[in-house]
């Protein structure tokens, strides 16, 4: 017994000696990559831009924070993203560190041709997180996008990620899409991926200058712009505005938005803002042909009523609900038709057909995108007004009298 006790004591004494920081990394030896941008270079190479954070210029506090730019952008080229990253060491005195990378950007040219050539490196690197947001630089280069300085957020990547989260919850014309979501869409049997578009409004050439965030009105600012539709791993087109919102609605990602309806001959007189929304998709079969049923339940409140109306009248509320249902149904049907023209199933209807009827799916999966283009899709919307705000009779009613 004493022998085992002595052995246990020896083990406990030796355990601390066995531990070591074998993989330690000093902060002063690391360059934190906040964003990666990829453009098409010469001779089929990739021009990769690395947005690095300058810690001394983004620290908060009365005594902290330098007067210089919060980021620095370095660019290198290579036949692969790995080659370009390693060549960047010629220009950067610290080791590139990707654990804090929050944004991955590619240009439209890369998205239309070579985006699949980049994905494996991101998915395989243990430092890189596939929860990183993925966007496409629309009408500009990826380098210009990752180089743009923002006003409210010192780090441009924070501006983009916060903006996507905000527009998803308040407008519904974009939704957060990360690298992992894109990979899931690529390998999925019956669903294609989508990616958010981003552009620079104003003077793009001014975006990377310090003066861009030293004025109350920036000369250039980043703005979410449309949803990119992919087919077979390549960008095939764009969907915007209400049609983009219809896509987000079908994917059950709309948290709130604004629905305008006409009233008493006045255009967009009443605005209903959803507070809860739920989308259900089911598949039925007619003569061995799938029929998609989209059912949406929406609850909202009257955020504006720029017309004479009595919001305490149940009949008026019921009429509003019917008009809202019609408007939502119209937007969703328009979205479906727009995507069907591109012959790419971004909604995952094919996945649902597969689950509902595996035998039929084996017969039709080979040319599913062509079948998707002719697919019958039925949309049903149930909308309910739950609140009218703090005023049930707008001042328009008094003016009318």
Statement: residue 150 has pLDDT above 70? yes
CATH of 244-400, one of 1.10.3720.10, 1.20.1070.10, 3.30.300.210, 3.40.50.1000: 3.30.300.210
Which residues are paired to 305 by β-bridges?
270
Enter the pTM of the model. 0.86
Residue 233 half-sphere exposure toward CB, CA atoms < 13 A? 11
Residue pLDDT, tens place only, 64-88: 445 677 888 999 999 999 999 999 9
Nearest CA-CA partner of 202 in 194, 212, 193: 212
Task: Sheet with 259-263: list strands edge to edge.
Answer: 259-263, 266-286, 289-305, 376-387
- Better-predicted residue by pLDDT, 305 or 28: 305
Confidence of residue 251 (pLDDT cuts 50, 70, 90): very high
- Once rounded to an integer, what is the mean pLDDT over residues 175-181? 94
Give me the pLDDT at residue 70, please. Answer: 82
The rounded percent of the chain whose pLDDT value lies above 90 is 59
- Better-predicted residue by pLDDT, 42 or 208: 42
Give me the pLDDT at residue 1, please. Answer: 54
- Better-predicted residue by pLDDT, 209 or 266: 266
Give me the pLDDT at residue 62, please. Answer: 41
Statement: residue 2 has pLDDT above 70? no
- Better-predicted residue by pLDDT, 202 or 285: 285
Q: What does the DSSP assignment read for 337-354? A: HHHHHHT---S-HHHHHH
Give me the pLDDT at residue 364, please. Answer: 92
Which residues are paired to 266 by β-bridges?
263
- Once rounded to an integer, what is the mean pLDDT over residues 339-363? 95
Give me the pLDDT at residue 82, please. Answer: 92
Residue 374 phi, psi (nearest 5): -105, 5
Which residues are paired to 263 by β-bridges?
266
Domain ranges of the chain: 27-239, 244-400
The set of residues, in sequence order, having a beta carbon less than 8 Å from that of 157 and lying 6+ positions away, is 34, 35, 51, 102, 103
Lowest mean pLDDT among 94-98, 196-200, 233-237, 391-395: 391-395
Confidence of residue 61 (pLDDT cuts 50, 70, 90): very low
Confidence of residue 27 (pLDDT cuts 50, 70, 90): low
Per-residue CA distances from 152 to 203, 213, 289, 341 (Å): 18, 8, 52, 40
- Better-predicted residue by pLDDT, 173 or 211: 173
Residue pLDDT, tens place only, 72-131: 899 999 999 999 999 998 888 888 889 999 999 999 999 999 899 999 999 998 889 999
Q: What is the CA radius of gyration of the chain?
A: 26
């Amino acid at each position: 017994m004493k022998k085992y006790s002595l052995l246990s004591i020896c083990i406990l004494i030796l355990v601390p000696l066995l531990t070591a920081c074998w993989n330690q990394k000093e902060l002063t030896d690391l360059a934190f990559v906040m964003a990666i941008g990829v453009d098409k270079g010469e001779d089929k190479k990739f021009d990769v831009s690395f947005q690095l954070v300058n810690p001394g210029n983004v620290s908060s506090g009365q005594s902290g924070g330098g007067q210089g730019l919060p980021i620095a952008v370095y660019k290198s080229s290579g036949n692969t993203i790995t080659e370009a990253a390693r060549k960047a060491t010629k220009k950067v005195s610290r080791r590139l560190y990707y654990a804090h990378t929050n944004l991955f950007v590619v240009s439209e040219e890369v998205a239309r041709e070579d985006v699949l050539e980049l994905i494996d490196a991101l998915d395989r690197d243990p430092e890189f997180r596939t929860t990183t947001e993925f966007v496409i630089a629309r009408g500009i280069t990826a380098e210009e996008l990752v180089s743009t300085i923002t006003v409210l957020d010192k780090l441009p990547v924070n501006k983009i990620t916060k903006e996507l989260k905000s527009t998803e919850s308040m407008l519904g014309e974009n939704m957060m899409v990360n690298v992992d979501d894109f990979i899931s869409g690529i390998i999925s049997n019956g669903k294609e991926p989508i990616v958010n578009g981003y552009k620079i409004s104003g003077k793009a050439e001014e975006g990377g200058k310090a003066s861009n965030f030293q004025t109350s009105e920036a000369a250039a600012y980043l703005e979410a712009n449309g949803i990119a539709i992919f087919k077979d791993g390549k960008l095939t087109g764009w969907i915007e505005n209400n049609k983009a919102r219809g896509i987000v609605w079908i994917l059950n990602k709309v948290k709130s938005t604004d629905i305008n309806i006409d009233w008493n001959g006045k255009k967009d007189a009443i605005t209903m803002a959803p507070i809860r929304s739920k989308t259900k998709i089911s598949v039925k079969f007619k003569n061995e042909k799938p029929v998609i049923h989209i059912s949406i339940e929406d609850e909202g409140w009257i955020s504006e009523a720029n017309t004479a109306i009595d919001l305490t009248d149940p009949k008026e509320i019921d009429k509003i609900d019917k008009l809202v249902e019609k408007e939502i149904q119209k937007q969703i049907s328009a979205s479906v038709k727009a995507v069907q023209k591109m012959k790419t199933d971004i909604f995952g209807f094919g996945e649902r057909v597969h689950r509902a009827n595996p035998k039929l799916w084996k017969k039709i999966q080979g040319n599913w995108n062509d079948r998707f283009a002719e697919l019958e899709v039925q949309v049903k919307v149930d909308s309910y007004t739950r609140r009218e705000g703090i005023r049930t009779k707008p001042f328009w009613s008094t003016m009318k009298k």
